[in-house]
Amino acid sequence: MASAAPVWTCYPARLVVNSARYFSSVALGFAYLLTSATTNAQHAELRYDPWIDGSITFGVVAAWAGSQAAMGKIAPKTCRWCESNDVDDTARVSLKWHNTRAADGLSNVGGFALMPLFAFSSALVGSSEPGRQSELPVDILLVAEAAAVSMGANQAVKIAVGRQRPFVHAFPPSEMREASSEDNVSFYSGHTTLAFSLAVASGTIASMRGYRHSTWVWATGVVMATSIGYLRIAADKHYLSDVLVGALTGSAAGAAIPYFFHGPRPAVAVTPVPGGFALSGAF
C-alpha cells in the first residue's frame, strides 16, 4: 500500500501564492520605508566622488566580467549543495513553464536590457525637471554602483556555495548530458539580484531627490523585478529560495548604498543645558 503524500503537497497553489505575497511585500516594504524616510529630504544634494564611486563601480564590474569569462575554471565542478527541500520543490512544480527556454530568454531580456533601461529612464525623467539636469550623471553613477556591488557579492557567493540548479538536479541519471560551468551556481539568483538592486536604487534616489515621479519608479521597478524573479523559477534555473535571497540582497544594496553612503550628512548640534548637554540635529 502506497504511503500517503505529505499534507503540504495538497496545497501547492496556496504555498506559491503566500510565497509571492511575501516576496512582493518585502520589496514594497523597502519602498514604503525609504519613501517615508526621505519625505523631508526634498531636492537633497547627494554626496559622491566621481573618482571613488566610478572606480568602485568599474572595478567591480570588471571583476564580475572576468569571473564570468573564467567561470569554466572557477565554478565548482560538482555541487556542494546538492539537495532541495519541500518548499522549493513545490514552488518549482507549480511555477515551472513547459517551455523553459522561453522563460529563460524573457528573463535575460528583462534583467539585462529592460531593467537597465528602466533605471536610466527613471533618472532621465527625474532630472528633466526644471533646474535639475546636472543630477542625471550622478543618479546613473550611484544606481550603477549599487547594482555593481550587489552583483559582485552575488558572484562570490554563487561560486563559494556551489548549489546545483533545479533543472540539473531533476535531470534523469540514465540520460547522458555534458556538464556545464553553470550547473552548480544556483544560489542565489543573479538576475533577481540585479533587477531589485536597480529597482530599489532608482526608487531610493528618486525619493531622496524629491522627484515628482518617485512613486511610479517604486511601483514600476518592483513589479518588473518581481516578474524577473518569477521567470527565473519558470525557466527552471533557480529555486524559490534562490530568488527570495536575490530579492532581499539586491534590495538591501539598492537601498543602503545610496541612502547611507550618499545621503546628506546629518547636521548635529550639541547645546549646553542645565545639568548637561542636549544633542539635536537633522538626520
Residue 159 domain-assigned (yes or no): yes
pLDDT band at 168 (very low <50, low <70, confident <90, very high): very high
* Residue 208 backbone dihedrals phi, psi, to 5 degrees: -65, -35
- Please give the residue that has the higher pLDDT: either 189 or 22: 189
Rounded to an integer, what distance in angstroms lies between the CA atom of residue 101 and that of residue 130? 45
Report pLDDT for 41.
46
Of the ranges 15-29, 34-48, 100-114, which is most confident? 100-114
Is residue 3 included in any domain, yes or no?
no
Q: What is the pLDDT of residue 161?
A: 95
Q: Is residue 104 part of a domain?
A: yes
Distance of CA 189 to the CA centre of its chain: 9
Provide the residue range defining the domain that includes 180.
Answer: 14-282
Tell me the average pLDDT across 262-274: 64
State pLDDT tens for residues 29-52: 555 555 555 444 456 688 899 999
Total domain count for the chain? 1
- Give residue 214's pLDDT: 92
> 3-class SS at 273?
strand
Q: What pLDDT is stored for residue 165 in this prediction?
A: 95
What is the pLDDT confidence band of residue 129, given thresholds at 50, 70 and 90? confident
pTM: 0.83
Is position 4 within any domain?
no
Q: What is the DSSP string of 216-250?
A: HHHHHHHHHHHHHHHHHHHTTSS-HHHHHHHHHHH
